[in-house]
Amino acid sequence: MPDLAWYETVIVVVLLLCVLVGTLPVINTGLQFLALPLHAFRNHYPKAAPYHPNVAVVIPAWNEGMVIGPAIERLLQLEYPAERLRVFVVDDASTDDTPEIVAQKAAAYPGRVVHLRREQGGQGKAHTLNHGLDVVLADDWTEAVLIMDADVIFARDSLRKLTRHLADEKVGAVTAYIAEGSRDRNYLTRFIAIEYVIGQLSARRVQNVGGAIACLAGGAQLHSRANLEAIGGRIPTGTLAEDTMTTFESQLHGRRMVFEPHAVVLAEEPRTIDSLWKQRLRWARGNVQLTSIYKKLWFRPSRDHNLGSVGFGLAWFTILLLPAFMLLAAAGLIALLLLHSDIAEFVFRFMWIAAACIYIFSMLYSVQLDPRIGRQSWREAIMFPGLGALILMFIALFPWTLDGLLNLFGEEATDQARFGWLLFFYLWGPVSMLGIWLARAVEPLPGGRFFAGLLLYVCGYGSLLCAITVDSYLKEWRRADASWIKTEKVGRVDS
């Protein structure tokens, strides 16, 4: 560091800390993949055993006529004792042909398929599930409850891979690996597929290691009867993240949650930025709500659960506050550029070289966790951080490329041009989020889907998630309408 007055040194140190804190999401990703191999040694498999409890499947359904029939059929074909599996479809006052389809299945499989009709619907998924839970838990036959979405398709061996963990009475619930399974994939569903590999096959394995699960997948969560009764026999209402709140409450009541990566469930995911935005906005707002609800939990280790551990808190907040971290890093770099450009360039290079190393390591690791997704979405794996971020990584690794480019404009223009380009590079995080907002705006226009996709490849899928998170901050601050918006599914899952 050049010779500086003491107050300048203090300012520089503070700015360096801002940049360091701003890179916590990158650091957390690196730690996640470094801890991932520990799952081979620290997992629940030694305590799992063949176990086939009586399972009541509860499916909330509102206008699911295009998907509910195949979902029921696939459930009845699972490699599981037929006499130990019953399917309860909770029809949330559907206005399409869902009631007729479910009634036909109930007639074809008497005693195995049950149609539960709610005459007053529209209250949200949690209320619909609770209607079903009231029925299945009133019957002593029920030993476990599988909560699933109407559109997902379970692999034939998935249920028995889930139930084996319930052989351990300390386990309250098990969740499966939700994989993107559309037969006609587009660029967005391929990005989502990579996200699920990182966020589930990687992150949830690490959560297994740490002993605290952030969320049981809403589309595939298997609960023991004892676990549901311990939390009152109902799914919590009043939040947009009922599955995450159920997960937290189960662990706070002393039961272990387990992620089973080999139980595969295929799901149909949104195909447009706008539909994905609406889905993820609900998730993000729910997480903001839960962060406040459990404010006394964070970073307070407990002997009863691991939700208060430093590692779990770091993982939670680096996702929740990712846009804030991005803005903090950009602000720190800009201030350093104005005060001491040499220090700013060094920090910029260090930050992006670290990001490049972690990106390469994590993506090479990720595509091997699910080879099918690796083959289908290899382009999206490469472009996951966006073309803009890839260029910054390249410039950080090979800084002479920027100097060579600027020299083409002549010596007089070099200093000003260099400052302008550095300013743009340091602001890339916020700029990329603005690019995503633009992508959503142009998507419905004629030819807009092409430009929206192009902007997503340039700005990166991570910037899309950041932009949605910013929107969740704004919606919660304004206390905007928080009604539960259903994601439209039309049966594209390749079963």
pLDDT digits (tens, 9 = 90+) for 303-347: 889 999 999 999 999 999 999 999 999 999 999 888 877 888 889
Count of domains for the chain: 2
Same domain, 215 and 99: yes
**Domain ranges, residue 47:** 42-305
Same domain (yes/no): 283, 330: no
Q: Are residues 193 and 85 in the same domain?
A: yes
Please spell the DSSP secondary structure of 217-246, one letter per residue.
-TTEEEEEHHHHHHTTSS---SSS-HHHHH
Same-domain status, 330 and 299 = no
Same domain, 331 and 300: no
| Residue 372 forms part of a structural domain | yes
Q: Write out pLDDT tens, residues 221-277.
A: 999 999 999 999 999 887 888 899 999 999 999 999 999 999 999 998 999 999 999
Q: Is residue 484 in some structural domain?
A: no
Task: Tell me: do 347 and 298 sit in the same domain.
Answer: no
Distances (CA, A) of 266 to 98, 146, 179, 220: 21, 16, 5, 10
CATH for 245? 3.90.550.10
Averaged pLDDT for residues 52-69:
92
For 345, phi then psi, to 5°, come to: -65, -40
Percent of the chain with pLDDT over 70: 93
Residue keyed to tokens 């476990």: 144
Sign for the pseudo-dihedral over CA of 102, 275, 269, 175? negative
Backbone angles phi, psi at 223, to 5 degrees: -110, 145
The last residue of a domain, from among 259, 280, 305: 305
> Which of 246, 280, 305 represents a domain boundary (last residue)?
305
Burial class (CB in 10 A: 0-12, 13-18, 19+), 234: middle
Does 380 reside within a domain?
Answer: yes
User: What angle, rounded to 10 degrees, do the helices at 6-22 and 341-369 form?
Assistant: 20
Residues 191, 223: one domain? yes
Backbone angles phi, psi at 262, to 5 degrees: -95, -5
Q: Is the pLDDT of residue 483 over 70?
A: no
Residues 86 and 231 in one domain: yes
Q: Is residue 488 a part of any domain in this protein? A: no
Same domain, 276 and 342: no
In a domain, 271, yes or no: yes
Rounded distance between C-alpha atoms, residue 362 and residue 33, angstroms: 6
User: Tens digit of pLDDT for each residue in 91-123?
Assistant: 888 888 889 999 999 999 999 999 998 877 667
Is there a single domain that holds both residue 14 and residue 53?
no
The predicted-structure confidence for 171-198, as pLDDT tens digits, reads as follows 999 999 999 988 788 999 999 999 999 9
In this prediction, residue 372 carries a pLDDT of 92
Give the gyration radius of the chain's Cα atoms.
Answer: 24
Q: How far is it, in rounded angstroms, from Cα 52 to Cα 49?
A: 10
Phi, psi of 19 (to 5 degrees): -65, -40
User: Among 305, 332, 366, where does a domain finish?
Assistant: 305
**CA-based nearest residue to 436, from 283, 274, 327:** 274
Q: How far is CA 323 from CA 186, 221, 276, 434, in A?
A: 26, 30, 18, 12
> Given pLDDT bands bounded at 50, 70 and 90, which one contains residue 158?
very high
Residue 209 maps to a domain: yes
Longest pairwise C-alpha distance within the chain: 84
The angle formed by the CA atoms of residues 295, 32 and 18, to the nearest 5 degrees, is 60
Task: Round to whole Å and give the CA distance between 434 and 274.
Answer: 15
Q: What distance in Å separates the CA atoms of residue 198 and residue 219, rounded to the nearest whole number?
A: 18
The token pair that represents 116 in the structure block: 């539960």
Do residues 403 and 286 share a domain? no
196 and 264 housed in the same domain: yes
Kindly state whether residue 459 falls inside one of the protein's structural domains: yes
Q: Say yes or no to pLDDT of 414 above 80.
A: no
Res. 219 pLDDT band, cuts 50 70 90: confident
Residue 281 included in any domain: yes
